[in-house]
Homo-oligomer: A and B are copies of this chain.
Amino acid sequence: MNREQIISQIKLKRSFLCIGLDTDINKIPKHLLSAEDPVFEFNKQIIDATNDLCVAYKPNIAFYESMGLSGWNSLQKTLDYIPKDILTIADAKRGDIGNTSKMYARAFFENMNFDSVTIAPYMGLDSVSPFLEFKNKWAILLALTSNKSSSDFQKIEAKNGEKLFEKVIKTSKNWGSEKNMMYVIGATRSKQLSEVRKIIPHHFLLVPGIGIQGGNLEDVAKYGMNKDCGLLVNSSRGVIYSGDGFNFAEASRKAAKQLQNKMDILLSERGI
């Protein structure tokens, strides 16, 4: 999926919502456990209930990997079930030396046919470049993450006062372009989005951390939105676990709809 298609979907759906499929078999409604593939059945119902409200789905690979072969199977079925006009993000945070990153790129872009994958930048250019060689695929680099410990290293200041996450963005932004790279910037750090926008005004940002983790949607739009929107704001637990029992999918639709309504207003305010 290319940049123009993503922007077009945002305008069409009046939404820049990404729904995180952090599907945990211990958290899904009990009545699904008798299904042949409970994890896929849960995802299927979430996708059916929300696909007109979001522009991206982001399966969190750890949740599937933790279940072994059956988890990978549920993931593939989920990926195949997502409508083709919706961006798919493998939240995998991979990254290794060149010949190994090439294998990860194949795993997610060829074997599984994801549109994009999240990448940890610690190992530098040759760990990222293999992900940039696929047409209409995206490398999404971790810059400033939403977790409490993100400050341990990401905010270390270099001699020139530059923080590590800024250095990561400045160094990497020309490895690819705004047509095949995005960055993860946590919503819990929303004020720093304006700093980020000075470095990369045009790139899309994947913004986790609204909802459970405490980030605020209005702030994210205020500091991070550009003329093409340029944002994919993720909610995982806040949407998929908003209800329990037989009406869980309906409850997740309601949670997604609330976010999409706010997003519609935020887009309109900026003439998008």
Contacts and interface: CB of A to CB of B under 8 A. Distances in A.
Q: Is the interface of A mostly helix, strand, loop or mixed?
A: helix
A150 B164 contact: no
A258 B120 CA distance: 36
Interface string A120-158: 111111110000000000000010011111111110111
Contact of A150 (B24, B91, B124): B124
Given A62-B100, A65-B104, A93-B120, A157 B154 contact: no
Contact of A69 (B73, B95, B99): B73
B147 A107 contact: no
Given A120-B122, A156-B167, A146 B97 contact: yes
A76 B68 CA distance: 9
Contacts of A199: none
A7 interface: no
A37 to B, nearest CB: 14
Residue among A101, A124, A159 facing the most chain B CB atoms (10 A cut-off):
A124
A210 to B, nearest CB: 14
A100 B158 contact: no
Interface of A: 22, 24, 60, 62-63, 65-69, 72-73, 76, 91, 93-101, 103-104, 106-107, 110-112, 120-127, 142, 145-154, 156-159, 164, 167-168, 171
